[in-house]
């Protein structure tokens, strides 16, 4: 669809972990970007303007997902939108409104501004909270998290992502707006922003906290750079439609720690692992059929650790 016309695109929540990586990729591909941040003057967004080509091709807009007019200013004039912003794990019910109403605000502005395609970043949290899915069956894009189950278990983040994504796809059906959703699993990989986001913190804690015991969970993960490529691919490929699960590797926490230890033996790793049940399997076959490829886990882990070292986050170990 948009291959030939690399125009202006908007990235919401541009200063966040995944969005910053996407902005970097889009700049490198020659896109002109309107990035939304809640506070353009906040030091935590300073990395954006230091990206290559940013001075000439990136413009930051102050916008909140619940402020329709602020989104209008950022999206008007763009032919594509990457809606990445969403409150990320927090155990409060308050994150639902910005996630759901915020997504609908973005989509309404996109309709008004005649945007050609919107890529919405959802999450595997909108896929795997489904107790009725057969245990031996790999989860694909037809599997949705059960909203009632999310409510009963007070899993507000999963509920927020499930509602936001299903509302987005319903909106697309109702209005004809071209919406594609991407559902990444746990995102690791080097960070560009100075702050520490929730998923990077999981890896950082395994490296430096010397925890007595951690659950030996099955983790499905994807590199932040591969996620950015997936977002670009689903934006650029005319045939992309509907939802795309984005995941690369499945690994238990203990094996993840063993891999980290073999690369970097001297950090303060957990001492014990408790066995836990569960571990659904989830597939990115649909995304791979679209042409998506991913990097080895070892590269993700070593580049992650290097980026934490450069930021001084692992000092003191």
Ligand X SMILES: NC(=O)c1ccc[n+]([C@@H]2O[C@H](COP(=O)([O-])OP(=O)(O)OC[C@H]3O[C@@H](n4cnc5c(N)ncnc54)[C@H](OP(=O)(O)O)[C@@H]3O)[C@@H](O)[C@H]2O)c1
Contact residues for ligand X, defined by CB under 6 A: 13, 15-19, 38, 64-66, 84-88, 98, 102, 121, 123, 161, 184, 186-187, 197, 199
* Catalytic entry in 6, 161, 254, 306: 161
End-to-end alpha carbon distance in the chain: 50
Closest distance to ligand X from the beta carbon of 103 (Å): 9
**Interatomic CA distance for residues 246 and 55, integer angstroms:** 31
The residue assigned the tokens 């605000």 is 105
* Catalytic residue flag (residue 161): yes
Cα 210 from Cα 44, distance rounded (Å): 28
From residue 16, how far is each of 21, 46, 95, 154, 264 by CA, in Å?
9, 11, 16, 25, 27
Is residue 75 within 8 Å of residue 110, measured between CB atoms? yes
Query: For residues 78 and 109, what is the distance between their CA atoms, to the nearest angstrom?
Result: 11
In angstroms, the CA 219 to CA 201 distance is 14
Residue 300 vs residues 105, 194, 256, 303: alpha-carbon distances, Å: 34, 19, 11, 5
Q: Cβ of residue 172: shortest distance to ligand X, in angstroms?
A: 17
241 sits in the region (left: phi over 0; alpha: psi -120 to 50; else beta) called beta
Q: Quick one: 86 or 300, whose CB is closer to ligand X? A: 86
Residue number, 6 or 38, with CB nearest to ligand X: 38
Which CB sits closer to ligand X, 6 or 215? Answer: 215
Nearest-approach distance from CB 16 to ligand X, in angstroms: 3
Measured from the CB of residue 294, what is the shortest distance to ligand X in angstroms? Answer: 15
Q: Which residue is nearest to ligand X (CB)?
A: 16
Q: Which is nearer to ligand X, 80 or 98 (CB)?
A: 98
Pick the closer one to ligand X by CB: 12 or 216. Answer: 12
Q: Are 157 and 95 in contact (CB under 8 A)?
A: yes
State how far the Cα of 256 lies from the Cα of 234, in Å rounded to an integer: 29
Selection from 144, 147, 166 nearest residue 156 by Cα: 147
Q: How far is the CB of 92 from ligand X (least distance, A)?
A: 12
Tokens, residue 45 = 């967004």
CA 163 to chain centre: 16
How many whole angstroms separate alpha carbon 45 and alpha carbon 98?
Answer: 20
6/205 with CB nearer ligand X: 205
Smallest separation (angstroms) from ligand X to the CB of 235:
15
Q: Which residues are catalytic?
A: 161
């Amino acid at each position: 669809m948009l291959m030939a016309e690399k125009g202006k695109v908007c990235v919401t929540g541009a200063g966040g972990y995944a969005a910053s990586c996407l902005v970097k990729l889009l700049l490198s591909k020659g896109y002109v970007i309107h990035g939304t941040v809640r506070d353009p003057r906040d030091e935590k967004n300073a990395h954006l303007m230091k990206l290559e080509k940013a001075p000439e091709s990136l413009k930051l807009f102050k916008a909140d997902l619940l402020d329709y007019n602020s989104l209008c200013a950022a999206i008007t004039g763009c032919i594509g939108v990457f809606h990445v912003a969403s409150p990320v794990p927090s155990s409060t019910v308050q994150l639902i409104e910005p996630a759901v109403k915020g997504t609908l605000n973005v989509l309404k502005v996109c309709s008004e501004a005649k945007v050609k395609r919107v890529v919405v970043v959802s999450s595997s949290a909108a896929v795997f909270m489904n107790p009725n899915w057969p245990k031996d069956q790999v989860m694909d894009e037809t599997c949705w998290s059960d909203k009632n189950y999310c409510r009963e278990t007070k899993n507000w983040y999963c509920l927020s992502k499930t509602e936001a994504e299903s509302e987005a796809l319903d909106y697309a059906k109702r209005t004809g707006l071209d919406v594609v959703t991407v559902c990444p699993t746990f995102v690791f990989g080097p960070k560009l922003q100075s702050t520490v986001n929730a998923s990077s913190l999981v890896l950082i804690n395994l490296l430096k906290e010397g925890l007595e015991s951690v659950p030996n969970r099955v983790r499905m993960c994807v590199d932040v750079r591969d996620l950015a490529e997936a977002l670009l691919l689903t934006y650029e490929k005319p045939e992309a439609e509907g939802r795309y699960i984005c995941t690369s590797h499945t690994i238990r926490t203990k094996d993840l720690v063993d891999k980290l230890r073999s690369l970097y033996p001297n950090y303060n790793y957990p001492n014990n692992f408790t066995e836990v049940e569960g571990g659904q399997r989830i597939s990115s076959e649909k995304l791979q059929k679209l042409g998506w490829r991913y990097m080895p886990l070892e590269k993700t882990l070593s580049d992650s650790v290097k980026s934490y070292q450069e930021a001084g986050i692992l000092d003191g170990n």
